[in-house]
Amino acid sequence: MRMVFRWFGNGNDQVSLNHIKQIPGVEGIVWSLHDIPAGEEWPLERIEEVKQQADEHGFHIDVVESVNVHEDIKLGLPARDKYIENYKRTIEKLAKAGAKVICYNFMPVFDWTRTELDKRLEDGSTALFYEKAKVESMDPIELVEKIAANQDFTMPGWEPERLKSLKRLFTAYSQVTTENLWDNLQYFLEQIIPVAEVNDIKMAIHPDDPPWPIFGLPRLITSQDNIRRLLKLVDSPYNGVTLCSGSLGANPTNNIPDMVREFADRIPFAHIRNLKVYQNGDFVETSHRTEDGTVDIYAIVKAYHDSGFAGYARPDHGRHIWDEKCRPGYGLYDRALGIMYLWGLWDSVERQ
């Protein structure tokens, strides 16, 4: 297991490379060019700038998260070919800088959905929270209009500058079925994977978060069966998955240790985090410790170890602890604690 840590760039986060350097066992940063709009080709000089910053602290930049997929590709619109060509050129540039894995997602409109950014837990920390009934009762078009009319009302991840495009996208996706989305994903992969193979970069799709349809939008990467289907769309070791225990774990029927064992050779990148799922379907993110949540982190780490996993892994979302002001889900302190918990489990299994 090769430990890496998500970094959002100088001046874009409270977490510096100096902070990350002090976490034992971290060998590289997980990064992106967050200001580049989806669909645009990444400039080589910007990629090399990140590499230089990482080199100065002894980190590699092997894992990129994310090179976002333009909505026209997901929708299967005529302009998708232009955006796919830009994606191919970005892969080639990332390979020149030494990147080995691209984490991406194929979720319509949103990368993730939560209803509360700072749900207070019993220990006084706060964390990301999802209220299932609230989301199921929402009409997304009405919600967009409500946010536009009242800037004091918002939804996590629904940035004000995206409101005009949100209404258009919800309308466009009303004509897209789940099978349409599968077809559009296959078209994308058939174009991208040959370029990834030539450039020795593994594509690793992130599961949908949460792993079920929301706001009438179709979802694909939600279960073990669907991951099998994904891997068969283009049967190549360069078509893989970023196995996220938190995203998939929101559905307690998902057996994540089984997924690790079945797909081990197609998991170039692992997100490991915990959450607590309630009987009504709500969930809140917790510490990484198995006993604090619903996801069996010990069994997952053991499955990676037993499978000979030598890919990249990072602690995923953490709580906000010790009054830290940070990007929701991405505090330094709880993710650093998470790394030490993961190393502790790994070392224990190794000694056994």
Looking at this protein, which amino acid is placed at residue 141? Answer: I
| Residues spanned by the domain of 337 | 2-351
For 110-135, what is the mean pLDDT?
A: 92
Q: What are the strands of the beta sheet with 283-285, ordered from one edge?
A: 116-120, 126-130, 283-285, 275-277
For 35-44, what is the mean pLDDT?
A: 94
How many Å separate Cα 222 from the centre of its chain?
13
pLDDT of residue 167: 80
pLDDT at residue 164 above 80?
Answer: no
Other beta carbons within 10 angstroms of residue 291's beta carbon come to 10
Q: Which tokens sit at 306?
A: 């037993």
pLDDT of residue 73: 98
- The CA distance from 61 to 160, in Å, is 31
On whether the CB atoms of residues 125 and 323 are closer than 8 A, the answer is no
For 115-125, what is the mean pLDDT?
A: 92
In angstroms, the Cα distances linking 323 to 117, 204, 285, 333 are: 14, 34, 17, 10
Q: Write out the DSSP string of 208-236.
A: PSSSS-BTTB---S-SHHHHHHHHHHT-S
Q: Which tokens sit at 200?
A: 């020795």
pLDDT at residue 163 above 70?
Answer: no
For 253-278, what is the mean pLDDT?
A: 98
Q: Which tokens sit at 89?
A: 């050129």
For 7-20, what is the mean pLDDT?
A: 87
- Helix, strand, coil: what percent of the chain each, to 5? 45, 15, 40
Q: Write out the DSSP string of 244-284.
A: EHHHHHTSTT--HHHHHHHHGGG-SEEEE--EEE-TTS-EE
Please count the structural domains in the chain.
1
Other beta carbons within 10 angstroms of residue 58's beta carbon come to 11
For 318-334, what is the mean pLDDT?
A: 92
CATH of the domain at 72: 3.20.20.150
> Which tens digit of pLDDT belongs to each residue from 217-231?
999 999 999 999 999
pTM of the predicted model as reported, rounded to 2 decimal places: 0.94
